[in-house]
Amino acid sequence: MTPAPYNQSVAIVDDNTDRTSALAQCTDLKLIEAAPQWSGGTAKPDNSRFTNYRFTLAWIENKLTLQDHSKKSVVSVCIDFTQGRALHRLKFGGGHGQELARAIKTREHPLVCDATAGLGRDAFVIASLGCEVVLLEQSAIVHALLQDAITRATIHTETAAIAERMALYHSNSTLLPDNWPHHLLPDVVYLDPMYPDGKRTAKKEIQALRSLLEPARAATDTVQSNGVESDTKDYETALLQAARSTAKRVVVKRPRKAPPLADTAPSGNITSPNTRYDIYSSKTSCYLPSL
């Protein structure tokens, strides 16, 4: 059998700063030395030390950046709310009238739990419409990328107030509501779990992220495994149940034609050309917390 050219592992490029050693400590990842000729660009570093790692994390131009070295040219993933797509959507995204906002009911300024935070794009939109958002992310690496972006956004005039409304935790949402970190329960839980059959046409950054997260997802897919399909179903059921036990309103983002999460019919939905927001609402959440 031909060995895979890369394993799925991730290493941190050491720049001898405190923030890098702190990152290594909280992610439990190995520190490696940067190639002397590598400046963090997209050109593949000519350094055999990198070939053992499919992914590296490094601060490039002061932004924590994940790089996938498995392709001919390096694919970089970093989050920046202060420019580009995030800022454009802030100005021209449609405000409270856009589908995501209508599903969340942002006009009522609910306390929102984004239980699958990812790159934080949806949470940023929700926070920009005046809602407090508690973000939960299970991957230590994605959590680190997102925390770095939120911290940078707090010192940018256009995004500071929005970033102040975003509180991020490294946490597994299937453990909700027991591990809920805020003193008030959320009014809405928002879920956007990765859809298993992601399009091959997805942007390179999303494909890289998917490759990074798939093994972690497989590891959290638990219970009575009769194969990947049943694992996925069990995972979806656990996630939806946890969300519905935590808030009266749960919103799930799905590709427009995809089946509902855990094959559980929602009470309603709001659709846009490519996306469907399934809404599960009940008079009470099932959980009575001892707060």
Ligand X SMILES: C[S@@+](CC[C@H](N)C(=O)[O-])C[C@H]1O[C@@H](n2cnc3c(N)ncnc32)[C@H](O)[C@@H]1O
Please say whether the beta carbons of 122 and 192 come within 8 A. Answer: yes
Least separation, in Å, of the C-beta of 240 and ligand X? 11
Q: What is the DSSP letter of 16?
A: S
Query: Closest approach of Cβ 143 to ligand X, in Å?
Result: 9
Burial category of 156 from C-beta neighbours within 10 Å (exposed 0-12, middle 13-18, buried 19 and up):
middle
**Contact present, 252 and 260 (Cβ < 8 Å):** yes
Nearest to 133 by CA among 123, 118, 145: 123
CB of 283 to ligand X, least distance (A): 26
* Residue, CB closest to ligand X: 118
For residues 139 and 246, which CB has a smaller minimum distance to ligand X in the complex?
139
User: Which residue, 44 or 217, is less far from ligand X as judged by CB?
Assistant: 217
Binding site for ligand X (CB under 6 A): 115-116, 118-122, 136-139, 142, 172-174, 192-194, 213, 239
| Nearest in space to 12 (alpha carbons), one of 4, 47, 22 | 22
| Token pair listed for 85 | 């797509």
Which of residues 139 and 159 has its CB atom nearest to ligand X in the complex?
Answer: 139
Q: What's the closest the beta carbon of residue 29 comes to ligand X, in angstroms?
A: 16
Query: With respect to ligand X, which residue has the nearer C-beta, 38 or 117?
Result: 117
